[in-house]
Amino acid sequence: MDDKKTTWIYRVIRWFVWLFSPKYKLEGTENLPDRPCIIVGNHSHMYGPIAGELHTPGKHYVWCAGEMMHREEVAAYAYQDFWSGKPKGVRWFFRLLSHLITPLALCVFNNAHTVAVYHDTRLISTYRESIELLQQGNSMVIFPECYTERNNIVHEFQDKFIDLARFYYKKTGVELDFVPMYLAPELKKMVYGAPVHFRADANIKTERRRICNALMDAITDIAVSLPEHTVVPYPNVSKKYYPKNIPLEVAVHEQETEENAG
**Per-residue pLDDT for 24 more than 80?**
yes
74-98 burial code (b ≥16 CB/10 A, e <16) = bbebbbeebbeebeeeeeeebbeeb
The answer to whether position 74 is within a domain reads: yes
Contact 44, 183 (CB under 8 A): yes
Alpha carbon distance 71, 261 (integer Å): 61
**Per-residue pLDDT for 1 more than 50?**
no
Give me the domain span that covers residue 91: 8-261
Average model confidence (pLDDT) for the chain?
Answer: 92
The answer to whether position 87 is within a domain reads: yes
pLDDT digits (tens, 9 = 90+) for 198-246: 999 999 999 999 999 999 999 999 999 999 999 999 988 888 999 999 8
User: Sign of dihedral through CA atoms 94, 19, 33, 217?
Assistant: negative
pLDDT digits (tens, 9 = 90+) for 106-157: 999 999 999 999 988 999 999 999 999 999 999 999 999 999 999 999 999 9
Q: Which of 32-46, 191-205, 238-252 has the lowest mean pLDDT?
A: 238-252
The answer to whether position 165 is within a domain reads: yes
Alpha carbon distance 78, 89 (integer Å): 18
The answer to whether position 172 is within a domain reads: yes
- State the pLDDT at residue 254: 62
The answer to whether position 2 is within a domain reads: no
Q: How many domains does the chain have?
A: 1
> How distant is the alpha carbon of residue 25 from its chain centre?
17
The answer to whether position 3 is within a domain reads: no
Alpha helices in 21-89 (DSSP H): 47-55, 71-78
The answer to whether position 167 is within a domain reads: yes
- State the pLDDT at residue 248: 62
